[in-house]
Chains A and B, each alone.
Chain A
Amino acid sequence: MPSKVTSKSNDQLLAEFEGRIAMGDKVEPGDWMPEEYRKNLVRMIGQHAHSEIVGQLPEGKWIPFAPGFRRKLTLVAKVQDEAGHGQLLYRAAETLGKSREEMMDELLSGKAKYSNVFNYPTPTWADVGVIGWLVDTAAVINQSMLAQGSYGPYARAMKRICYEESFHIKQGYDAIVALTHGTPEQKAMAQDAVNRWWYPTLMMSGPPDKISEHTERAMRWRIKTKTNDEVRQEFVDHIVPQIRALGLDVPDPDCQLDKSTGRYKFTAPDWEELRRVVNGDGPMNKERLAVRRKAHEDGLWVREALAVKAAKTA
């Protein structure tokens, strides 16, 4: 839509917008922006926010069972951070004109998506450590890239989130290290968790570039500054040496260092599985949403009561 203040044409505005972004300038709420940019960002930031709060559940499940004071305290703090990140991200999305209530509604009705990785179950304590270590490493690589993005509120939220995520990675890694120094049963539990989370984590960076829509424009508008494949490669190169240093391995015999490039070759995930799970057919999709829906509904009387009380006392 044309600017309300000046009489510039859409094309002029778009050219200026893209010019500023190319120079590394940020876009702020209230700036003119193409509708596609706004729509894409609201969807992307919303999805990211939903992932954080749905992501509380697979690990939150283990809080009552955490072994020892330190693990219990750390896990509560970690899951609390996830609520905190959701809060920051919903706020960033709200600056683009969508209310948090509306976004919650879209999540709970199944209309909005969230990171696919949280549709997998966490059957053992080791899953908690592996999520913190693997999934959060993949998340940080992605998020550090997003922190360089063009939309001001999102970039600012990402910087804050990245700082806290580094604690998440360390606590996850530390929990797995402890298991590898433990009994054979504990070690086996750790390896089993890595085996189950390896491919889902690889899928986190998104579909391969060759089938991913929107990549070119997302890069030009600096909504992303690296492609999915680039982020995925970075993750593999970073994490495989760490995994093997602990005496664990990835469930991919073809995952080997290519000495000529210095990068790891690896087997691509099953993209059909990603498509199925993203579209609601994963092991935990229904359950995750049902839990969030219940929390939302159970909490309605509280939200309403506090709003009514504030209106009465104002």
Chain B
Amino acid sequence: MTFPQGGSERWREETALRLLAGTRQRAAANEAVGILQVWHACAREQARDDLDVTGTTAGREVEARRIIAVIDAAATGRADPDARWD
């Protein structure tokens, strides 16, 4: 029942930035899993395995970014008559 020291402002800021980066990476990985679910017509678990082809965190991140970039490049959302985000 002991606690680490609160640390300096700089330590807190660095921790917050690490947390933010980690959260973004996690979101990107999950978005890529969703895309793979559609591409491979598979369940979420299978898509997770498919994303993790390199078996490393860095590899997973790169693959996720690549998959998202493919969709982004082909996105035709602004022509979608049902979307009203403009």
Q: Do A and B come from one complex?
A: no
